[in-house]
Amino acid sequence: MLSKACEYGIKATVFLAQQSEKEKLANVKEIAKAIQSPEAFTAKVLQQLVQKSIIQSVKGAQGGFFIDKKVLKKITLMQIVAAIDGEDIINNCVLGLSHCSEKKPCPLHHKYKKIKIDITNMLQTSLVSELAVGLTQKLSVLTG
């Protein structure tokens, strides 16, 4: 469903959102520890998110990553997924047909349609900030 890179990206962003609420930077080492992910690989994912302006970075000693407070409340999961995995998850046919459509549907098209819409909705309406609140309130976890 989601690539490992994307899973890391989502978890890292939620963690960063939590830190940014406290006006804190977090560096790769802290992030990788918080989400139990390989450090170097996580660094690559963070780079992608910086390039797409979803998160921001500060170079040099005492540097790290953070999320701009102005945009923090508007970041959706869809933005992260699109940045890392692209929009395949929303566009692609469940059986891999290139031109699956209402007119020329694959055998599973109609049965899968609603699921795809639900996934799209989940990604588009889930705010990173909201997930971070749940984390802070210990209603959810990033590891285990």
Partner DNA sequence: AACAAATAGGATAAAATTATCCGAATTAAA
Partner DNA sequence: TTTAATTCGGATAATTTTATCCTATTTGTT
The amino acid present at 106, given as its one-letter code, is: C
Q: What are phi and psi of 59, to 5 degrees?
A: -80, 165
Is 38 near DNA (CB under 7 A)? yes
Q: Stretches 14-22, 39-47, 108-116, 131-139: which one binds DNA (CB under 7 A)? A: 39-47
Give the start-end residues of each E strand in 32-142: 56-58, 64-66
**Window 60 to 99, contacts with DNA (CB under 7 A):** 60-65
Window of 3-11, 72-80, 113-121, 135-143 that interacts with DNA by CB under 7 A: 3-11
Residue 22 interacts with which of DNA, its own copies, none, CB < 5 to 8 Å by class: none
Q: How many residues does the chain have?
A: 144
Q: If contact means CB under 5 to 8 A according to the sort of partner, which of its own copies, DNA, none does residue 99 touch?
A: its own copies
Nearest to 83, CA basis, from 128, 37, 113: 128
Q: Where are the beta strands (DSSP E) in the chain?
A: 56-58, 64-66
* Nearest distance, CB of residue 36 and DNA, angstroms: 10
Query: Which amino acid, 89?
Result: I
Which residues lie near DNA (CB under 7 A)? 3-5, 8, 27-29, 37-41, 43-44, 46-47, 50-51, 57-65
